[in-house]
């Protein structure tokens, strides 16, 4: 399983310079999980920079993968991950979700660089 961070989804939806690197992970929706938090981040950014319609289309596409909700157990694990690795709340939730689901985290966010099961795509 793979978990593509918000940075990857945004590269994909905006045809950013790393879009080609992310597409191989994003094409296999049956092997992809999406934390609910990433839906929030992508929707907010796309709506702000483009339009609500574009944001809703992006979220509809993301919803074709398996969406992982934030429950109490994941929230506690995320807090522990934040304390252990010095991650922000959002990053800790994303990384804890990847750990919980035994997924590789695909990202270009430097906050995750060097962590276990992280595939870092350089800008």
Q: How far is CA 99 from CA 26, 33, 105, in A?
A: 19, 12, 9
Residues of the chain with pLDDT under 70: none
Beta strands at 66-68 and 118-120: parallel, antiparallel or unpaired: unpaired
For the chain, the structural domain boundaries read 2-120
What's residue 123's pLDDT?
79
What's residue 111's pLDDT?
93
pTM of the complete model:
0.94
Superfamily, domain 2-120: 5'-nuclease (3.40.50.1010)
What's residue 93's pLDDT?
98
């Amino acid at each position: 399983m793979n978990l593509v961070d918000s940075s990857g989804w945004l590269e994909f939806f905006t045809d950013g310079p790393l879009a080609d690197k992310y597409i191989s992970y994003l094409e296999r929706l049956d092997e992809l999980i999406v934390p609910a938090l990433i839906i929030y981040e992508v929707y907010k950014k796309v709506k702000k920079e483009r339009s609500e319609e574009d944001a809703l289309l992006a979220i509809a596409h993301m919803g074709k993968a398996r969406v992982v909700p934030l429950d109490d157990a994941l929230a506690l694990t995320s807090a522990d991950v934040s304390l252990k690795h010095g991650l922000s709340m959002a990053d800790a939730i994303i990384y804890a979700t990847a750990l919980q689901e035994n997924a590789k985290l695909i990202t270009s966010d430097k906050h995750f660089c060097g962590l276990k099961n992280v595939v870092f795509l350089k800008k």
